[in-house]
Amino acid sequence: MSTGRGRWRVRRRRPFRLIIRLALAFSLASAAFVGYQWVTWPQVSKLATENPQTTAFIERYRDAAVGRETQPVRWTWVRYEAISPHLKHAVVVSEDIEFFAHQGFSVHELKTAVADALKRRKALRGASTISQQLAKNLWLAPSRNPWRKVKEALLTRQLERELGKQRILEIYLNVVEFGPGLYGAEAAARHYFGRAAAELNPEQAAALAAGMPKPSRWHPGSGESEYLQRVRRIGERMRRTDWLRRLI
Protein backbone atom coordinates (compact mmCIF):
# COMPACT_ATOMS: atom_id res chain seq x y z
CA MET A 1 0.00 0.00 0.00
CA SER A 2 2.76 2.45 0.88
CA THR A 3 4.39 1.82 -2.50
CA GLY A 4 1.10 2.57 -4.26
CA ARG A 5 0.62 5.78 -2.28
CA GLY A 6 4.19 6.82 -3.14
CA ARG A 7 3.58 6.33 -6.85
CA TRP A 8 0.35 8.31 -6.59
CA ARG A 9 2.21 11.19 -4.93
CA VAL A 10 4.86 11.15 -7.68
CA ARG A 11 2.14 11.28 -10.35
CA ARG A 12 0.54 14.24 -8.54
CA ARG A 13 3.86 16.13 -8.37
CA ARG A 14 4.63 15.76 -12.10
CA PRO A 15 1.80 18.05 -13.38
CA PHE A 16 2.62 20.54 -10.63
CA ARG A 17 6.28 20.63 -11.67
CA LEU A 18 5.25 21.07 -15.30
CA ILE A 19 3.06 24.04 -14.38
CA ILE A 20 5.93 25.59 -12.41
CA ARG A 21 8.30 25.16 -15.37
CA LEU A 22 5.79 26.64 -17.81
CA ALA A 23 5.15 29.58 -15.50
CA LEU A 24 8.89 30.17 -15.14
CA ALA A 25 9.42 29.97 -18.91
CA PHE A 26 6.56 32.41 -19.48
CA SER A 27 7.98 34.81 -16.89
CA LEU A 28 11.43 34.71 -18.47
CA ALA A 29 10.01 35.23 -21.97
CA SER A 30 7.88 38.13 -20.73
CA ALA A 31 10.85 39.73 -19.01
CA ALA A 32 12.94 39.37 -22.17
CA PHE A 33 10.16 40.90 -24.28
CA VAL A 34 9.71 43.84 -21.92
CA GLY A 35 13.46 44.36 -21.75
CA TYR A 36 13.78 44.34 -25.54
CA GLN A 37 10.94 46.84 -25.93
CA TRP A 38 12.50 49.07 -23.26
CA VAL A 39 15.89 49.11 -24.97
CA THR A 40 14.57 49.57 -28.53
CA TRP A 41 11.62 51.90 -27.80
CA PRO A 42 11.82 55.08 -29.94
CA GLN A 43 12.94 58.27 -28.21
CA VAL A 44 9.86 60.25 -29.15
CA SER A 45 10.78 63.36 -27.14
CA LYS A 46 13.88 63.94 -29.33
CA LEU A 47 11.60 64.73 -32.26
CA ALA A 48 10.65 68.00 -30.58
CA THR A 49 14.03 69.41 -31.63
CA GLU A 50 15.59 66.82 -33.99
CA ASN A 51 14.42 65.66 -37.41
CA PRO A 52 14.29 61.89 -38.08
CA GLN A 53 17.22 60.61 -40.13
CA THR A 54 15.11 57.88 -41.74
CA THR A 55 11.78 56.07 -41.30
CA ALA A 56 10.56 52.49 -41.18
CA PHE A 57 8.77 53.02 -44.49
CA ILE A 58 11.87 54.39 -46.22
CA GLU A 59 14.03 51.53 -44.93
CA ARG A 60 11.51 48.93 -46.15
CA TYR A 61 11.53 50.58 -49.57
CA ARG A 62 15.33 50.48 -49.66
CA ASP A 63 15.41 46.84 -48.59
CA ALA A 64 12.86 45.87 -51.26
CA ALA A 65 14.83 47.78 -53.89
CA VAL A 66 18.03 45.79 -53.40
CA GLY A 67 18.85 43.98 -56.65
CA ARG A 68 15.93 45.56 -58.50
CA GLU A 69 15.61 48.47 -60.91
CA THR A 70 13.60 50.95 -58.89
CA GLN A 71 13.52 54.66 -58.30
CA PRO A 72 16.06 55.80 -55.68
CA VAL A 73 14.80 57.41 -52.51
CA ARG A 74 14.13 61.11 -53.06
CA TRP A 75 13.72 62.98 -49.80
CA THR A 76 14.43 66.61 -48.90
CA TRP A 77 13.52 67.99 -45.49
CA VAL A 78 12.01 71.49 -45.28
CA ARG A 79 10.75 73.58 -42.38
CA TYR A 80 7.04 73.89 -41.60
CA GLU A 81 7.05 77.44 -42.97
CA ALA A 82 8.48 76.18 -46.28
CA ILE A 83 5.42 74.01 -46.98
CA SER A 84 2.45 75.60 -48.72
CA PRO A 85 -0.51 76.25 -46.41
CA HIS A 86 -2.65 74.87 -49.23
CA LEU A 87 -0.96 71.47 -48.92
CA LYS A 88 -1.35 71.48 -45.13
CA HIS A 89 -5.03 72.31 -45.61
CA ALA A 90 -5.53 69.63 -48.27
CA VAL A 91 -3.85 66.92 -46.20
CA VAL A 92 -5.82 67.75 -43.05
CA VAL A 93 -9.21 67.77 -44.78
CA SER A 94 -8.45 64.56 -46.66
CA GLU A 95 -6.65 62.55 -43.98
CA ASP A 96 -7.85 63.82 -40.60
CA ILE A 97 -10.21 66.80 -40.48
CA GLU A 98 -10.38 66.59 -36.66
CA PHE A 99 -6.60 66.75 -36.35
CA PHE A 100 -6.52 69.97 -34.32
CA ALA A 101 -9.33 68.83 -32.01
CA HIS A 102 -8.44 65.28 -30.97
CA GLN A 103 -5.65 63.87 -28.78
CA GLY A 104 -4.40 61.34 -31.30
CA PHE A 105 -7.51 59.26 -31.97
CA SER A 106 -10.77 60.12 -33.72
CA VAL A 107 -13.83 58.29 -32.41
CA HIS A 108 -16.00 60.04 -34.99
CA GLU A 109 -13.82 58.86 -37.87
CA LEU A 110 -13.84 55.29 -36.60
CA LYS A 111 -17.65 55.30 -36.33
CA THR A 112 -17.90 56.74 -39.84
CA ALA A 113 -15.56 54.06 -41.21
CA VAL A 114 -17.59 51.27 -39.58
CA ALA A 115 -20.88 52.69 -40.87
CA ASP A 116 -19.42 53.08 -44.37
CA ALA A 117 -18.13 49.48 -44.35
CA LEU A 118 -21.54 48.15 -43.30
CA LYS A 119 -23.35 50.28 -45.87
CA ARG A 120 -21.08 49.32 -48.76
CA ARG A 121 -20.53 45.74 -47.50
CA LYS A 122 -16.79 46.19 -47.88
CA ALA A 123 -13.79 45.76 -45.62
CA LEU A 124 -13.28 48.42 -42.96
CA ARG A 125 -11.28 51.29 -44.44
CA GLY A 126 -8.46 52.94 -42.55
CA ALA A 127 -9.56 55.37 -39.86
CA SER A 128 -6.12 56.39 -38.65
CA THR A 129 -5.41 59.96 -37.63
CA ILE A 130 -2.37 61.86 -38.88
CA SER A 131 -0.65 61.15 -35.55
CA GLN A 132 -1.28 57.41 -35.89
CA GLN A 133 -0.06 57.44 -39.48
CA LEU A 134 3.09 59.26 -38.41
CA ALA A 135 3.81 56.62 -35.75
CA LYS A 136 3.43 53.89 -38.40
CA ASN A 137 5.60 55.71 -40.92
CA LEU A 138 8.41 56.36 -38.49
CA TRP A 139 8.68 53.14 -36.51
CA LEU A 140 6.29 50.29 -37.27
CA ALA A 141 6.11 47.22 -39.48
CA PRO A 142 3.05 46.70 -41.73
CA SER A 143 1.87 43.60 -39.84
CA ARG A 144 -1.53 43.62 -38.13
CA ASN A 145 -0.61 41.63 -35.01
CA PRO A 146 -2.19 42.87 -31.75
CA TRP A 147 1.07 44.10 -30.21
CA ARG A 148 1.78 46.30 -33.23
CA LYS A 149 -1.59 48.00 -32.75
CA VAL A 150 -0.88 48.48 -29.04
CA LYS A 151 2.54 49.91 -29.86
CA GLU A 152 0.98 52.25 -32.41
CA ALA A 153 -1.47 53.53 -29.81
CA LEU A 154 1.25 54.08 -27.20
CA LEU A 155 3.51 55.89 -29.67
CA THR A 156 0.60 58.02 -30.88
CA ARG A 157 -0.10 59.17 -27.33
CA GLN A 158 3.58 59.97 -26.87
CA LEU A 159 3.66 62.01 -30.08
CA GLU A 160 0.64 64.00 -28.95
CA ARG A 161 2.12 64.52 -25.48
CA GLU A 162 5.69 65.37 -26.49
CA LEU A 163 5.09 67.37 -29.69
CA GLY A 164 2.70 70.11 -30.67
CA LYS A 165 0.21 69.72 -33.50
CA GLN A 166 2.31 71.90 -35.79
CA ARG A 167 5.41 69.77 -35.23
CA ILE A 168 3.47 66.53 -35.82
CA LEU A 169 2.13 67.92 -39.10
CA GLU A 170 5.57 69.19 -40.09
CA ILE A 171 7.17 65.78 -39.60
CA TYR A 172 4.29 63.97 -41.30
CA LEU A 173 4.45 66.16 -44.41
CA ASN A 174 8.19 65.59 -44.58
CA VAL A 175 8.12 61.78 -44.36
CA VAL A 176 4.87 60.64 -45.97
CA GLU A 177 5.13 58.78 -49.30
CA PHE A 178 3.88 60.54 -52.44
CA GLY A 179 5.09 57.97 -54.99
CA PRO A 180 7.58 55.13 -55.42
CA GLY A 181 10.71 56.28 -53.58
CA LEU A 182 9.25 59.78 -53.26
CA TYR A 183 9.01 61.02 -49.66
CA GLY A 184 7.98 64.38 -48.30
CA ALA A 185 6.29 67.47 -49.68
CA GLU A 186 9.44 69.07 -51.13
CA ALA A 187 10.51 66.06 -53.19
CA ALA A 188 6.92 65.56 -54.41
CA ALA A 189 6.43 69.19 -55.40
CA ARG A 190 9.75 69.24 -57.28
CA HIS A 191 9.02 65.93 -59.02
CA TYR A 192 5.42 66.49 -60.09
CA PHE A 193 5.27 70.28 -60.56
CA GLY A 194 8.88 71.50 -60.84
CA ARG A 195 8.46 73.90 -57.95
CA ALA A 196 9.15 74.15 -54.22
CA ALA A 197 6.63 72.86 -51.69
CA ALA A 198 6.10 76.47 -50.54
CA GLU A 199 4.83 77.42 -54.01
CA LEU A 200 2.05 74.83 -54.40
CA ASN A 201 -1.37 76.27 -55.27
CA PRO A 202 -4.70 74.81 -54.04
CA GLU A 203 -5.22 72.60 -57.10
CA GLN A 204 -1.73 71.13 -56.92
CA ALA A 205 -2.08 70.60 -53.18
CA ALA A 206 -5.35 68.71 -53.67
CA ALA A 207 -3.73 66.54 -56.36
CA LEU A 208 -0.87 65.57 -54.02
CA ALA A 209 -3.13 64.91 -51.02
CA ALA A 210 -5.48 62.77 -53.12
CA GLY A 211 -2.71 60.32 -53.95
CA MET A 212 -1.62 59.62 -50.37
CA PRO A 213 -3.81 56.52 -49.77
CA LYS A 214 -2.30 54.74 -52.81
CA PRO A 215 0.99 56.50 -53.65
CA SER A 216 2.19 53.77 -56.00
CA ARG A 217 -0.80 54.33 -58.32
CA TRP A 218 -2.40 57.68 -57.52
CA HIS A 219 -0.45 60.84 -58.26
CA PRO A 220 -0.68 64.06 -60.28
CA GLY A 221 -1.02 63.08 -63.90
CA SER A 222 -2.83 59.82 -63.15
CA GLY A 223 -6.00 59.31 -65.15
CA GLU A 224 -7.73 56.85 -62.79
CA SER A 225 -11.31 57.97 -62.27
CA GLU A 226 -11.31 57.16 -58.55
CA TYR A 227 -8.23 59.30 -58.04
CA LEU A 228 -9.67 62.20 -60.05
CA GLN A 229 -12.91 62.04 -58.06
CA ARG A 230 -10.88 62.19 -54.86
CA VAL A 231 -9.01 65.26 -56.11
CA ARG A 232 -12.34 67.01 -56.74
CA ARG A 233 -13.72 66.03 -53.33
CA ILE A 234 -10.66 67.37 -51.56
CA GLY A 235 -10.90 70.63 -53.50
CA GLU A 236 -14.54 70.99 -52.44
CA ARG A 237 -13.69 70.27 -48.80
CA MET A 238 -10.95 72.88 -48.89
CA ARG A 239 -13.40 75.50 -50.14
CA ARG A 240 -15.97 74.59 -47.48
CA THR A 241 -13.43 74.64 -44.64
CA ASP A 242 -11.54 77.86 -45.32
CA TRP A 243 -11.76 78.55 -41.56
CA LEU A 244 -9.38 75.63 -40.99
CA ARG A 245 -6.49 77.57 -42.50
CA ARG A 246 -6.40 79.79 -39.41
CA LEU A 247 -5.21 76.77 -37.41
CA ILE A 248 -2.49 75.76 -39.84
Q: Say if domain 54-247 classifies as CATH 1.10.3810.10.
A: yes
Render each residue's pLDDT in the chain as its tens digit; 248 residues.
455 565 555 555 667 676 776 666 666 555 554 565 545 778 999 999 999 999 999 999 999 988 787 889 999 999 999 999 999 999 999 999 999 999 888 776 555 544 554 555 554 445 699 999 999 999 998 777 888 899 999 999 999 999 999 999 999 999 999 999 999 999 999 999 999 999 999 999 999 999 999 999 999 999 999 999 999 999 999 999 999 989 99
Q: Is residue 137 within 8 Å of 57, Cβ to Cβ?
A: yes
DSSP β-bridge partners for residue 74:
182
CA–CA gap between residue 193 and residue 199 (Å, rounded): 10
Q: Where are the domains of the chain?
A: 1-40, 54-247
Distances (CA, A) of 161 to 15, 53, 235: 48, 21, 31
